[in-house]
Amino acid sequence: MQTIKGTISGVSGPTVTAKGMNGAKMHTIAFVGKDGLLGEIVRIQGEQAVLQVYEDTTGLSIGEEAISHGKPLTIRLGPGLLSGVFDGIQRPLELLRLKAGDFIKKGISFEALLDKKWEFIPEIKKGDAIESGDVVGVVRENERIEHKILVPPYVSSPLVGTDLKSVPTRVVKEIRKGEITGDEPVAILENNSTISLYQEWPVRQPRPFQQRLSPDTPFLTGQRVFDTVFPVAEGGTAIVPGGFGTGKTIVEQTLARYAKSDIIVYVGCGERGNEMTEVLTDFPKLLDPSAGLPLSLRTVLIVNTSNMPVAAREASIFIGATIAEYFRDMGYRVALMTDSISRWAEALREISSRMEEMPGEEGYPPYLATRLGNFYERAGKVQCLGNKERTGSVTIVSAVSPPGGDFSEPVTQASLRVAGALWALDTDLAYRRHFPAVDWSKSFSLYYNALKDWFTREVAEDAILLRDGIMIILERESELKEVVQVIGLEALQDIDRLTMEMGRIIKEVFLRQSVFNEADAFCAMEKQYWMMKCILEFYQRAKKAIDEGAYLEKILASPIMTRLMRMQDIPSNVFKERAGEMIREIDIGFVKIA
């Protein structure tokens, strides 16, 4: 690659201007100053280039050198990612601490993932023809995940670099097995090119796949309001906006622990240091409920706290997306959590203002929506590259922090244009200790219709009818609330007062969950179905009893009301049996009331 050298002519925070950069290419990295600070070229004007530097620029001076080798911002992908904690430019934070102490020094670098040997088990043999995306072997990275070593994708883009360019089909000349380090080849091909445990990929370029598949399977989280009421498909996108203290981070961490996904990529983008400290401290101690093993075995953490360089924050979500796509290509279901996308947008705004670009709404750059679209479009359920058919998915759940909880601000609105689901968090619900604090009147899911067949087939034939019945009660209860504010609760008819009471039960029992209650922290779909069944069975029998002349007070005083209010305390594995008993009690109870 051509080496281009320039001279620093201006410094403004993380933005550096260098002259004499004739021949420089957009979105390629450069090393700035005597310390070799890592940066990226974001604008070219003649022989002058503007760079955003991913490290602290304090001490840089006019006249120092800037060097570009024409390579895009890339990260290394391979064994060692899982359980790893990296900063916004994929530097392993624990190894940096051991090397340089608790504070990251300027210009320090570390070769990620190359510090360990791995036991490689080949799945191909000499003479086999392989193509992009084929599995050449596996590394048992831990007792939870089998790391598949893939043939790097065939891509003709100049951003990828010549090391990944080759003909689509290649013949194996030699294959190795046993302990192999990161810089050693595992396979040598007839054209003398090699395949190693690791591959590099430019973070701003999506990884290729054979075919994008329809979203027909839900992303199960174990949270009733997300799974049943506002479901998201595997490979879909959801945003979680909410004001300060509404529980956005808790929602993301709860999904990271309980969601039915193989891999979790968690990006702490501009979050407070104490919150990320809690994540780093708690994750190694948490157990994966589905396997009984440490949750960290299937987790990759990208950490860029609010006091770390702002330019690296802008790159961190694309690094997270690239890692997620890499595991997707192995055929895994990946959940990408970003917390929060608003802090990423603030970094974009700061960089844009230092480059003196024309501001858009609220000072954000005019291309905010385009950049967000580039990120969200990297979600999806796909058929992976390779001879053997396999599917993988990347599901993106992004926290959004609108100032003052105002959902009309640009980041929330731009995210809504491309996201498939909105889980809107409400400050009043959060203050009432209602978790998740999801406002069911503002939230929606565009995947609901596409997932109806799955719910009918995998849960029950009447699952959709029950869900719709729950929503009808909630909508009617919201209407009646407005009436009550005018005429008072006592002026309502008994049937409307019953609807108000059932709306309260749905909100307090079905939509509310406790992360501290082991029986309720994760709710299986079968339990969710039978909870709806019990609530609606009681509602229908109560309406019939009122029509036949029964008193509402007698209905509400029945012991079955207490059972309904404690349903969430029943473990999922025995709930179907208990629900059957409860429905029989409802039948017997209303015979007595009548």
Return the bridge partners of 239, or none: 398, 422
Q: What pLDDT sits at residue 132?
A: 86
pLDDT of 532 > 80? The answer is yes
Dist. CA 543–CA 233, nearest whole Å: 35
Return the bridge partners of 381, or none: 393
Among 155-159, 506-510, 531-535, which stretch is predicted with the lowest mean pLDDT?
Answer: 155-159
Q: Render pLDDT for 253-286 as a digit per residue (tens, 0 to 9).
A: 888 888 889 999 999 888 777 777 777 777 777 7
pLDDT of 159 > 60? The answer is no
pTM greater than 0.85 (yes/no): yes
**31 touches 87 (CB < 8 A):** no
Q: What pLDDT sits at residue 32?
A: 92
Residues 6+ apart with CB under 8 A from 485: none
pLDDT of 507 > 80? The answer is yes
Dist. CA 218–CA 245, nearest whole Å: 28
294 backbone dihedrals φ, ψ, rounded to 5°: -55, 135
Query: Which alpha helices (DSSP H) does 240-377 contain, by range?
Result: 248-258, 273-282, 310-328, 341-354, 368-376
Q: Render pLDDT for 403-451 as a digit per residue (tens, 0 to 9).
A: 888 899 999 999 999 999 999 999 999 998 888 999 999 999 999 999 9
Average pLDDT of 560-569? Answer: 86
Between 104 and 243, residue with greater pLDDT: 243
Q: How far is CA 122 from the centre of its chain?
A: 32
Q: What pLDDT sits at residue 158?
A: 37
Through-space distance between the first and last CA atoms of the chain, rounded to whole angstroms: 86
Average pLDDT of 34-49? Answer: 89
Dist. CA 9–CA 31, nearest whole Å: 15
Between strands 37-45 and 28-32, the pairing is antiparallel
3-class SS at 198? coil
Locate 51 and state its tokens.
Answer: 């760079």
Q: What pLDDT sits at residue 535?
A: 92
**394 touches 264 (CB < 8 A):** no
Locate 369 and state its tokens.
Answer: 């929506």
In the chain, the domains with their CATH numbers are 4-72 (2.40.30.20), 77-202 (2.40.50.100), 211-445 (3.40.50.300), 460-593 (1.10.1140.10)
Phi-psi region at 362: left, alpha or beta (left = phi > 0; alpha = psi -120 to 50)? left
Dist. CA 4–CA 569, nearest whole Å: 66
65 backbone dihedrals φ, ψ, rounded to 5°: -90, 145
Q: What pLDDT sits at residue 442?
A: 92
Dist. CA 253–CA 272, nearest whole Å: 15
DSSP assigned state of 361: G
Q: How far is CA 564 from the centre of its chain?
A: 34
Locate 382 and state its tokens.
Answer: 């796909």
Residues 6+ apart with CB under 8 A from 45: none
**365 touches 293 (CB < 8 A):** no
**192 touches 130 (CB < 8 A):** no
Q: Report the chain's mean pLDDT, rounded to a whole number.
A: 86
Dist. CA 239–CA 338, nearest whole Å: 10
- Residues constituting the chain: 594
